[in-house]
Structure formats: C-alpha cells, structure tokens
C-alpha cells in the first residue's frame, strides 16, 4: 500500500468513468503496505480502492481477482473487482476485471465498511477463525491454479540473498529453519494436508470490523494479492501468528489462540495430519514473514510513503514457535 506509481487525477477519473463508477471527486494514496500502489477513490457513486500492481503480471492477476469474485458468490465478505461495462470490448487474452493504468496492471474494488482492529480480543479472533474456515471451504471448487509465490521455493531462493545482512545467531537460525521446513515438506504427513486457494496474508490490517469491541461483526477480508494454492494449515498458521501473538514478545496469547482455533474448527475440524503439523506450520509462517521483511528492509524499492516493517518481530515469533511449540 505504498505509492510506487503516481497516478494523475485525470487518469484515474478516466478509468473509473469507463467502469461506470461515477465521476471522480477525490483521490488519495494509501499508506500502509509495501507491495502495490493503492489509492482511495471517491466518486459520485461510492467509495473504491484503485490498485496498480508493481510485481504481479497480467498473466498472474486473474487468479486473485476471480478468487475474490468466487468467494463473494459464496457469501464470504471480500472486495468485489469491478468489470468493464457490459458490451465493452474484451480482446483475446484480456480479462474484464483486469485493467491497465500508467502501463501497469490495475484493478478497482469496492471499499469495505468498518475499520481494522489492531488490538484484537478473543471475540475478534473468533470471528476471524470462523470466516477463514468458511473461506477455505468456499474455495474448494475454485478451478484456477497458481502456487503460493512466497512459498518454500521462494524461501530457498531468498535466504542466500539476505544472509549477508544477518549476524551469526540470526544466520544460524534461518539456515536451520529452512532446512527443517524442506524436511517437513518432503514428508508424507505434509503431502496429506488438505489444500486449496488460501489468503496467505490475513493480518490484522487486512480484516475489517463493524459493531463494538464486545460484539464485533467481521465486515470483510481484503488484500488477496499474496494468495495462492497452499495448505489450509499454512493459512491458519499465518493468521494465528498475527492475531494470537503478543506483539512486543512474540509469545502466544492463549485466550486469543483458543478463540480462533475453536471457531475455525467449529466450521472445519482439523485432520489428524493437520494437528500433528500445526507446530511446524506455525514455524513456517514465521519464517516466511521474517524472510520477506528482511528482504524488504535491506533491499527496498523506492516509493512514496513506504514504511518497511521491522524484520525482528517475526524473528522473535519464530524463536518462540521453536522453543515453545503450540499443539492443537
């Protein structure tokens, strides 16, 4: 959600007009994430989010956009990609919900209502666990396939790139964890894990709530642009590693963990293989985000409003997951 590509007001207005979304009245760059360029766009017809994709290609993006469409049709509250007006020409190889702006792939989605909860309680975690399980089940018949682009293959490629920036203890930890995750992925228990399209980045700032702190109502998941086909357990682990963690220490918060896991399993109980591998996947989720934050921090791209995340947070989480494993 940094701004890598500056979009002129008139350029955005032309795209929104072509999508029959009204006349643009305000355009504001969004501060927060680090992967794509995002703007809030206000028109006479409503509130929208305009995204320009800085790394993903025209060929990769239909997987993400149609996944959101699929989940929305199954009652999961997600942003709805806006299509070219009915009857508009869509050429060979083009997609009606994928656009081009400033030479970059672009999408426009409706802006969700509510706000993110950055200090969640058990009730928020229960709502997230319930909806995550629903999303996994809803995606069972999603027929597009694309691997998790930040999965094990990316970890193997990226660890050597960040090693020069680590001290001896960090280097030993990341090497050992990568070897462990390669070992886990080669096993029969891992092969037995249920899998499908997953969000893979369901952090606190990617969920919206309405209601009250005591009775929150989950109003939407968003930012699906790290999604891919992976194990449902990995997606659950990534979610637990943010929603059910004490941020200063990286330690497990027992009440939030139980709330999220119980709500998830009320919809989709974990299999035996998932129960056995939950500690390993919690470590995998911590490694994935420690590694990506190291990469973004030490090898940043220039962008307006860019604020790289602190890599040491997920180093702490990983050390906690190794020394104090959580069992389902």
Q: Structure tokens of 274?
A: 């998932």
Q: How many other CB atoms sit within 10 Å of the CB of residue 110?
A: 18
- Span 298-307, mean pLDDT? 65
Contacts of 304 (CB under 8 A, 6+ apart): 2, 3, 4, 6, 29
Q: What is the pTM of this model?
A: 0.91
Q: Does 130 score more than 60 pLDDT?
A: yes
Q: Tens digit of pLDDT for each residue in 188-244?
A: 999 999 999 999 999 999 999 999 988 999 999 999 999 999 999 999 999 999 999
User: Considering just the CA atoms, what is the radius of gyration of the chain in Å?
Assistant: 20
User: What does pLDDT average to over the chain?
Assistant: 93
The residues pairing with 27 across neighbouring beta strands, listed in sequence order, are 41
Give the mean model confidence (pLDDT) for residues 83-96. Answer: 64
What is the structure's pLDDT at 301?
66
- Categorize the per-residue pLDDT at 86 as very low, low, confident or very high, splitting at 50, 70 and 90: low
Q: Distance (Å, rounded) from C-alpha 51 to C-alpha 222?
A: 12
Q: Phi and psi dihedrals of 65, rounded to 5?
A: -70, -40
**Model confidence over 239-294: pLDDT tens digits?**
999 999 999 999 999 999 999 999 999 999 999 999 999 999 999 999 999 999 99
In this predicted structure, what is the pLDDT of residue 306?
52
Asked if 145 and 229 touch (Cβ cutoff 8 Å), the reply is: yes
* Tokens describing residue 21: 């979304």
With vertex at residue 147, the alpha carbon angle to CA 264 and CA 234, rounded to the nearest 5 degrees, is 30
Task: State the CB neighbour count (10 A cutoff) for residue 116.
Answer: 16
């Amino acid at each position: 959600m940094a701004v890598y590509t500056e979009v002129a007001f008139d350029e955005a207005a032309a795209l929104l007009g072509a999508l029959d979304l009204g006349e643009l009245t305000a355009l504001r760059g969004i501060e927060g994430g680090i992967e794509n360029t995002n703007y809030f766009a206000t028109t006479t017809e409503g509130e929208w989010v305009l995204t320009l994709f800085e790394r993903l290609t025209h060929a990769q993006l239909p997987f993400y956009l149609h996944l959101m469409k699929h989940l929305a049709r199954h009652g999961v509250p997600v942003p709805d990609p806006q299509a070219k007006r009915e009857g508009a020409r869509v050429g060979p190889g083009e997609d009606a919900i994928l656009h081009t702006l400033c030479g970059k792939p672009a999408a426009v989605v409706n802006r969700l209502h509510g706000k993110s909860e950055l200090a969640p309680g058990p009730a928020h975690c229960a709502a997230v666990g319930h909806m995550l399980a629903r999303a996994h089940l809803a995606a069972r018949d999603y027929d597009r396939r694309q691997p998790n682009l930040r999965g094990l293959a990316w970890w193997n490629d990226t660890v050597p790139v960040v090693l020069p920036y680590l001290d001896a203890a960090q280097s030993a930890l990341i090497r050992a964890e990568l070897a462990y995750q390669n070992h886990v992925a080669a096993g029969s228990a891992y092969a037995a894990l249920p899998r499908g399209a997953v969000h893979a980045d369901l952090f606190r700032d990617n969920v919206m709530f309405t209601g009250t702190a005591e009775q929150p109502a989950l109003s939407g998941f968003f930012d699906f642009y790290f999604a891919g086909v992976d194990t449902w357990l990995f997606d659950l682990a990534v979610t637990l590693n943010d929603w059910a963690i004490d941020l200063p220490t990286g330690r497990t918060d027992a009440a939030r963990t139980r709330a999220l896991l119980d709500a998830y399993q009320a919809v989709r109980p974990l299999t035996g293989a998932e129960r056995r591998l939950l500690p390993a996947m919690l470590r995998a989720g911590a490694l994935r985000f420690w590694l990506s934050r190291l990469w973004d921090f030490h090898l940043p791209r220039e962008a307006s409003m860019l604020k790289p995340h602190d890599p040491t947070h997920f180093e702490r989480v990983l050390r906690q997951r190794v020394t104090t494993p959580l069992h389902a």
